[in-house]
Structure formats: structure tokens, C-alpha cells
Structure 1
Amino acid sequence: MLGRTYEDQICSISRTLEVVGERWTLLIVRDVFFGIRRFGDLQTSLGVARNVLTDRLNRLVEDGIVVREPYQENPTRYEYALTPKGMDLLPVLLSMMRWGDKHASPAAGPPRLVRHVDCGGEVEQQLACTKCEQRLDENDIEILPGPALTAAAR
């Protein structure tokens, strides 16, 4: 993981990696999104050591990506649910999934399909302009300095 200070990194990607860049973190978020919400079920699904899963879940709770919700008393047991902040990672997961389907999928094809519930159509992600709604590709965009970078340069 990167350091916890950002003196040399004025970059949203590096700050995002501090939260979700560890190898198990997005897999945990994926599983919670798929409906695997209890510790034991997550551990079985992922094959991760208990201490690692505990650490990552605590970090996700601390960062506001998941919330612990009790589902049993005596003893108290918890399950995990995505917060709105966690749900905002869905496009990231889908983008990674699509990349993996294209460049790292097994010969049999992609492991999962993403379909629209109402009509069964395949779900696409694309770049689009918020002003004119035109679909874009990498040749249609430019990356410019934002307010944080401009302020740091002063």
C-alpha cells in the first residue's frame, strides 16, 4: 500500500488506492454486492485468512464503504452491507470485470454476465459527455489540471 500521507501525490487515483487498492478489498466489496454478507460466508467464498478478512472489513467500515449490521443476539453476530459510498464502487467493479472479460477471461468465456433486470439486455459502460450526452472514446477527452493541482502549484 502507498503511504498514508499525500505530500508528493496530488492524485485522486493514489488516494483511492489507499482505500481500495489492497488485493482483497475489492473482492470483499464484490462479494458483498453479490449478496455474501456474513463473515464466515465471505471467508469461504474468498479463501482468505480470518485475520486478513477481519482487518479488511474493519478498514472498509472505518472508511464508510460497508456497515456492520447485527443479525443475531447471544452471541451478537454481524453481517456487512454496502453503504452509498460502497455502492459508488459498482462502476469500478464493472469496469474491472469487463477488462478481465476482454483480456483475462478463461477460454469458456466470462465467469459472470451483467444483465438489465427488466429486459435482459447486456449492461454497457461508456464514457459520455454530461453536456451534450455524446458517447466518447479516449481520443475525445483531455485531462486538465483541477482546483487541487492548481492550488498546490501556487
Structure 2
Amino acid sequence: MARPCSIANALEVIGERWTLLALREVLLGCRRFDQIVQHTGASRDILATRLRKLVDVGLLERRQYEQHPPRYEYHPTDAAKSLHTVLLTLMQWGDTHVTKGPPPTVWEHSCGEVLHAKVVCEHCNEPVELGDSRAVRLGGQPVER
């Protein structure tokens, strides 16, 4: 039996390539289906399925902007907006370990500097690195010390 895990649960919702790329586009401000198709390269039927799923699970909200024919825009919910930092750290990992050459996308922070995402402890504001933390509950069970 697989270990109960929030990572596995999250991947059930956002773990498909076109799902993450559709979220990327909506978070970047592309709201209309044709824009999302253009910027992701997904086929229309696959994208329609992924967007429907994102609406069903509450990550996107579909809003009608035209009556005849009915047309819709996709807007991120707070749940989708909270994935922004996840996408930034995934992008940074890709820049470092996968992409050859300079990063294709660069973000600037409001302070004016190039943004380099970093996960920090909310309590002490120290960076989180592998080995700096330990599981106290794993798969719903306390971890023995």
C-alpha cells in the first residue's frame, strides 16, 4: 500500500504537464482559451479537459465574457494563486538542472532585483535545506525518534 502523502494528493490535481502549463498562463494573465492554447502548445481537447478539471477542483473560476456565442475566461482562485511560489521554485530548478543556456524567463521582485526563489522557515526566516528539517509525522503516523 502506498504511503498517504500530500505530494501524491497534489499531483492528482496538478501533476499533468498541460495542467501546470495552463496554470502558468492563467497566473501570467492569459485568461482566454485561445491564448492558453497558443502559449502552451496543448491540443484544444486536452486543454479543455485540463481547464475543466481545474475549475472542478476549485483552482480556476470560469467567467462568461461574451453572450453570443458564449465565451469564457479563466481566473485564478486563491488556491491557484498560492501555487505561484511553487511554480517559481520549479522554474528555478528547471533553470539550474534542465535548461541549457540562460533562463528563458526571468522575474524581477518588487525591490528591483532579479528574483531567486527561496523557501524559508516562517518562524525563524532561515532558508530550508535538505537535512535542516525532519518529519514528525509521515503518512499520517508519528515518526519514532
- Name the TM-score, length of structure 1 as normaliser: 0.84
Aligned to 1:3: none
| Percentage identity across paired residues of the two chains | 37
Cα distance, 1:104 vs structure 2: 1.7
- Checking the alignment, whether the CA contact within 8 Å between 2:92 and 2:116 is kept in structure 1 is no
Alpha-carbon separation, structure 1, partners of 2:26 and 2:83: 12
1:111 aligns with 2:96: no
Cα distance, 1:138 vs structure 2: 1.7
Alpha-carbon separation, structure 2, partners of 1:136 and 1:9: 24
Summarize the alignment of residues 50-89 of structure 1 with structure 2, pairs less than 5 Å apart: 50-89=44-83
Alpha-carbon separation, structure 2, partners of 1:50 and 1:134: 44
Cα distance, 1:125 vs structure 2: 2.6
Instruction: Say if 1:129 and 1:48 are closer, same or farther in 2 by CA, change over 3 A.
Output: closer
The aligned length equals 142
Q: Using CA pairs below 8 Å that are at least 6 residues apart, which structure has the higher relative contact order? A: 2
Q: Secondary structure at the match of 1:81?
A: strand
Cα distance, 1:86 vs structure 2: 0.5
Aligned to 1:123: 115
Aligned to 2:133: 141
Instruction: Say if 1:132 and 1:102 are closer, same or farther in 2 by CA, change over 3 A.
Output: same
1:10 aligns with 2:1: no
Q: Secondary structure at the match of 1:143?
A: coil
Which stretch has the larger CA shift, 41-50 or 119-128?
119-128
- Checking the alignment, whether the CA contact within 8 Å between 2:55 and 2:61 is kept in structure 1 is yes
Aligned to 1:150: 141
- Name the TM-score, length of structure 2 as normaliser: 0.89
| Long gaps (5+) in structure 2 | none
1:42 aligns with 2:62: no
Q: Deviations over 1:52-90 (max 9, x none)?
A: 111000000001001101111111210101100001111
Which stretch has the larger CA shift, 134-143 or 50-59?
134-143
Q: Aligned Cα RMSD in Å?
A: 1.8
| Long gaps (5+) in structure 1 | 1-6
